[in-house]
């Protein structure tokens, strides 16, 4: 293989097979010819080509195959679970991260998506609803000692019907437990302030003044 020449992939078809252009390209490029669609897709996944020469009837399926590969790559590397629940309440597709959740989590997600589809169907049924009504809703769920958050989005059809619900799910256990600790600290602080206020209210004026002086002297100076 000449590393100085750019590569062109040719998917042999009725028009491209033995086409004069094919022969001419080989004078200027490294030409790689394959007979089948799966061979072309495999090469395009692993090698860089300057151009692809294919019949019109083959080009669109080839392009769709590549777009599908890239979409799957993105959906499997974003770190969150993604699934599609159809109008029958079944999970028709899910990414790798989603499939790693427990069956209990998957069932809860599917149930929430069905609830979301019912909600979206009710608010998207009126005239002009496609532009004025929300298409996404955030949910929270708990399974055992784990907390999850879910963003459900409606897939709206041409007739303004809800065909599917797409859900993005992530484990929010760490952030939820941190928030619970912060809430507990805040509640304890407010209770302490209330108790201190009640204690001060019971003091006579002279004792209140002495307490304020003691607090002032105990405060760190800058």
Of residues 130 and 11, more confidently modeled? 11
159 in a structural domain: yes
Instruction: Please tell me whether residues 56 and 106 are part of one structural domain.
Output: no
Supply the CATH number for residue 28's domain.
Answer: 3.40.50
CATH code of the domain in which 146 resides: 3.30.450.20
In a domain, 217, yes or no: no
> What mean pLDDT do residues 174-191 have?
79
Say if residue 99 is in the same domain as residue 164.
Answer: yes
Q: Both 120 and 53 in a single domain? A: no
Q: Per residue in 58-101, pLDDT tens?
A: 766 776 666 666 667 677 778 899 999 998 889 988 998 999 99
Q: Verify that 103 and 64 share a domain, yes or no.
A: no
In a domain? residue 203: no
Number of domains comprising the chain: 2
Nearest Cα neighbor of 1 from 48, 45, 60 is 48
Regarding whether 61 and 92 lie in a shared domain, the answer is no
In a domain, 99, yes or no: yes
The answer to whether the beta carbons of residues 164 and 87 sit under 8 Å apart is yes
Only one residue has tokens 């989005």, namely: 153
In a domain, 182, yes or no: no
User: Is there a single domain that holds both residue 70 and residue 96?
Assistant: no
Q: Which residue has the tokens 């394959």?
A: 34
Average pLDDT (138-164) is: 90
163 is a domain residue: yes
Model pTM score: 0.55
Integer angstrom CA distances of residue 101 from 72, 83, 96, 143: 18, 12, 9, 11
- Please provide the size of the chain in residues: 222
Torsion over CA of 197, 200, 205 and 210, rounded to 10 degrees? -120
The answer on 124 and 90 residing in a single domain is: yes
Q: For tokens 């907390």, what's the residue?
A: 147
- Alpha-carbon distance values, 36 to 8, 39, 52, 55, 121 (Å): 16, 5, 14, 12, 44
Q: Which of 71-80, 151-160, 186-195, 198-207 has the highest mean pLDDT?
A: 151-160
């Amino acid at each position: 293989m000449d590393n100085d020449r750019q590569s062109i992939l040719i998917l042999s078809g009725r028009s491209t097979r033995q086409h004069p252009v094919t022969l001419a390209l080989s004078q200027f490029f490294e030409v790689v010819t394959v007979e089948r669609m799966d061979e072309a897709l495999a090469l395009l996944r692993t090698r860089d080509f300057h151009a692809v020469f294919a019949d019109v009837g083959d080009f669109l399926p080839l392009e769709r195959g590549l777009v599908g590969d890239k979409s799957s790559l993105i959906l499997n590397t974003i770190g969150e679970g993604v699934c599609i629940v159809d109008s029958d309440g079944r999970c028709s597709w899910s990414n790798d991260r989603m499939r790693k959740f427990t069956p209990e989590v998957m069932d809860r997600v599917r149930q929430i998506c069905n609830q979301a589809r019912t909600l979206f169907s009710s608010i998207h049924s009126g005239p002009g609803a496609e532009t004025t009504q929300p298409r996404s809703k955030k949910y929270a769920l708990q399974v055992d000692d784990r907390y999850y958050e879910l963003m459900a989005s409606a897939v709206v059809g041409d007739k303004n019907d809800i065909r599917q619900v797409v859900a993005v799910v992530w484990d929010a256990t760490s952030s939820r437990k941190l928030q619970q600790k912060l809430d507990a600290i805040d509640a304890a602080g407010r209770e302490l302030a209330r108790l201190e206020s009640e204690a001060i209210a019971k003091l006579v004026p002279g004792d209140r003044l002495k307490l304020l002086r003691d607090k002032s002297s105990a405060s760190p100076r800058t």
